[in-house]
């Protein structure tokens, strides 16, 4: 796998090595070893979500309260999406910054979104399928959003679909009515950098304890 840290601190792009032969293509979509190299802790899988979106569908920007937050490992097995991560962690060195990655069925890239970072995507062709590995399950009332078209964020969403036709955005009412980043901050609804860092440190300590318990002893 090839790993690339995005401009948002703690977020990563993961590009797998694809093996082709006369039967088709194979790749490792997720490995514990690669994930540990980029985070220093295990990924505790609690839930797997799958969404199928028509061309022009925009989902997000969503984030969960920290702790415990909800980290995501996002892939696009079919279709093409413009995937976006936004740092909404108050106090983060990259607060307010965003990074976008094309996820598709060709390169089969993935994006890792740590706790406290907002996530969204725009579908660039019909029937785009996105799969999320989630570190925590959905908690009613603990998921929030910020405006995907907030001028302060100035996300450069694609204006045309994969076939070159202009995009008409399709969004949920909740996403359309989401507050701006600064309004969410003023209301005290955004995660704090120090809480996110403390949570990640607890994950690393827990991983180290488990590794120590499973280390073979001397005979």
Rounded Cα–Cα distance for residues 79 and 104 (Å): 6
Task: Choose, from 63, 73, 112, 132, the residue flagged as catalytic.
Answer: 132
Cα–Cα nearest to 117, from 97, 139, 137: 97
- Using a 10 angstrom Cβ sphere, with 0-12 exposed, 13-18 middle and 19 or more buried, the burial of residue 95 is middle
Residues contacting residue 186 through CB under 8 Å, at least 6 positions apart: none
73 classed as catalytic: no
Please give the pLDDT value at position 130.
98
Residues contacting residue 74 through CB under 8 Å, at least 6 positions apart: 83, 103, 110, 111, 112, 113, 119, 121, 130, 131, 132, 133
Judge if the upstream peptide bond of residue 135 is cis by omega within 30 degrees of 0: no
Task: Answer whether residue 104 shows pLDDT above 70.
Answer: yes
144 classed as catalytic: no
Q: What percent of the chain has pLDDT over 70?
A: 97
Residue the block writes with tokens 């799969």: 131
Task: Answer whether residue 69 shows pLDDT above 50.
Answer: yes
Cα R_g (the chain), whole angstroms: 18
34-55 CB burial, b ≥16 within 10 A, e <16? bbeebbebbbeeeeeeeeebeb
The listed CATH number (3.40.605.10, 1.10.490.10, 2.60.120.10, 3.40.630.10) that belongs to domain 2-205: 2.60.120.10
Task: Answer whether residue 219 shows pLDDT above 70.
Answer: no
Q: What is the pTM assigned to this prediction?
A: 0.92
Task: Choose, from 62, 119, 144, 199, the residue flagged as catalytic.
Answer: 62
């Amino acid at each position: 796998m090839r790993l690339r840290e995005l401009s948002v601190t703690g977020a990563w792009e993961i590009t797998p090595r694809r093996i082709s032969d006369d039967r088709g293509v194979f790749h490792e979509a997720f490995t514990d070893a690669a994930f540990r190299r980029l985070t220093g802790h295990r990924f505790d899988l609690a839930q797997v979500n799958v969404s199928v979106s028509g061309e022009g569908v925009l989902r997000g920007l969503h984030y969960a309260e920290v702790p415990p937050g909800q980290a995501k490992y996002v892939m696009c097995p079919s279709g093409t999406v413009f995937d976006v991560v936004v740092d909404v962690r108050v106090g983060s060195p990259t607060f307010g910054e965003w990074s976008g990655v094309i996820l598709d069925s060709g390169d089969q890239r993935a994006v890792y979104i740590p706790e406290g970072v907002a996530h969204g995507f725009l579908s660039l062709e019909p029937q785009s399928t996105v799969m999320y590995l989630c570190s925590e399950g959905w908690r009613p009332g603990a998921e929030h959003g910020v405006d995907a078209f907030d001028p302060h964020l100035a996300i450069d969403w694609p204006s045309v679909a994969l076939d070159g036709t202009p995009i008409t955005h399709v969004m949920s009412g909740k996403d359309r009515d989401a507050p701006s980043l600064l309004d969410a901050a003023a209301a005290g609804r955004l995660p704090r950098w120090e809480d996110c860092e403390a949570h990640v440190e607890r994950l690393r300590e827990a991983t180290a304890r488990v590794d120590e318990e499973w280390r073979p002893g001397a005979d």
